[in-house]
């Protein structure tokens, strides 16, 4: 049997991304989403999630926006602004971050989602922060503290990274190095996780053709596919551009649905995760 969670990341980052994610859930093949507790559109996203019945996890975030708990020594600026992806990596590579303050921030993000009246079904990390050795054990402990029994494993499932170029290729090298150790830590903690994560090399290029090819070649097992559907946002970063709508069209396509049906792929959520390895 093939079981597949199709998760849409970055819910709560802006209203146009949120609109696309909800459409991909209602009318497409998305089964889960990951919610940014400190996202600019968090409040409206929460109401939309409740109305749609969209299962969500907490997209733990140490790189973008402002920390909920204020300043974090070695990580934020004096206003509590988080450092961005590259600076986060450099700071986590050192040993001068206040890990107790980081734990308090991650705990506050989970609590914020719970206080909004949602029951998350998993934890994952924005920019895959849960894969860093300083954080993997910390986040599994928080999962157990809050009674959450599933996490994303950012272990790349693709055998090669032919689609990845430039900085994305560098990212894939990093994720392959971190992913196996993080996956082992998650499973050892008794937290369920898919066997691996598909779609990482397709971050900027997932279209209908590539999605169907991925689904056609998906092997037996329990997997997650990471997606980023949405509508373009004029005020957003380059990542918030037209590619988000290309990805949305792929997830809504009859072609992708046909492959799922023909191959008898079981689309599921993190709450329905049938495996822990």
- Predicted TM-score (pTM) of the model is 0.95
pLDDT in tens, 51-70: 999 999 999 999 999 999 99
Mapped onto helix, strand or coil, the DSSP state of residue 31 is: coil
Distance from C-alpha of 47 to C-alpha of 49, rounded to nearest angstrom? 5
Q: How far is CA 67 from CA 8, 96, 132, in A?
A: 22, 18, 19
The answer to whether residue 143 scores a pLDDT higher than 70 is: yes
Q: Where are the beta strands (DSSP E) in the chain?
A: 2-11, 32-35, 56-60, 123-125, 197-198, 221-227, 266-268
Whole-angstrom distance, CA of residue 165 vs CA of residue 151 = 27
Name residue, tokens 């994720």: 175
pLDDT, position 162:
65
**CB neighbours of residue 39 within 10 Å:** 22
Nearest alpha-carbon partner for 10 in 24, 23, 21: 21
Q: What is the pLDDT of residue 159?
A: 83
Select from 111, 125, 9, 24 the least CA-distant residue to 69.
111
Q: What burial class does residue 126 get, using C-beta atoms within 10 Å of its C-beta: 0-12 exposed, 13-18 middle, 19+ buried? A: buried
In the chain, domain spans: 2-272
| Structure token digits, residue 148 | 């959450």
In the CATH scheme, what is the code of domain 2-272? 3.20.20.370
Between 160 and 80, where is the model more confident? Answer: 80
Residues 199-237: pLDDT tens digits? 999 999 999 999 999 999 999 999 999 999 999 998 778
Residue 25 near residue 51 (C-beta atoms within 8 A): no
SS3 60: strand
């Amino acid at each position: 049997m093939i079981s597949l969670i199709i998760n849409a990341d970055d819910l709560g980052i802006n209203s146009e991304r949120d609109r696309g994610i909800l459409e991909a859930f209602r009318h497409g093949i998305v089964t889960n989403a990951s919610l940014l507790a400190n996202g600019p559109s968090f409040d409206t996203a929460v109401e939309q999630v409740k109305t749609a019945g969209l299962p969500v996890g907490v997209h733990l975030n140490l790189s973008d926006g402002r920390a909920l708990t204020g300043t974090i020594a070695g990580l934020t600026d004096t206003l509590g602004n988080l450092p961005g992806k590259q600076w986060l990596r450099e700071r986590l590579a050192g040993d001068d971050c206040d890990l107790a303050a980081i734990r308090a921030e991650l705990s506050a993000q989970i609590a914020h989602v719970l206080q909004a009246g949602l029951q998350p079904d998993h934890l994952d990390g924005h920019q895959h922060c849960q894969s860093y050795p300083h954080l993997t054990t910390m986040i599994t402990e928080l999962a157990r503290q809050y009674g959450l029994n599933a996490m994303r494993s950012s272990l790349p499932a693709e055998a090669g990274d032919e689609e990845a170029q430039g900085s994305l290729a560098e990212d894939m090298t990093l994720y392959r190095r971190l992913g196996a150790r993080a996956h082992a830590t998650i499973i050892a903690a008794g937290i369920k996780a898919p066997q691996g994560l598909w779609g990482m090399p397709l971050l900027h290029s997932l279209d209908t053709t590539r999605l169907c090819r991925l689904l056609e070649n998906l092997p037996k097992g329990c997997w997650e596919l990471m997606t980023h559907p949405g509508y373009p946002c004029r005020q957003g970063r380059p990542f918030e551009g037209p590619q988000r709508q290309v990805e949305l069209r792929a997830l809504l396509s009859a072609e992708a649905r046909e492959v799922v049906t023909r191959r008898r792929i079981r689309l599921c959520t993190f709450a329905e995760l049938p495996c822990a390895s």
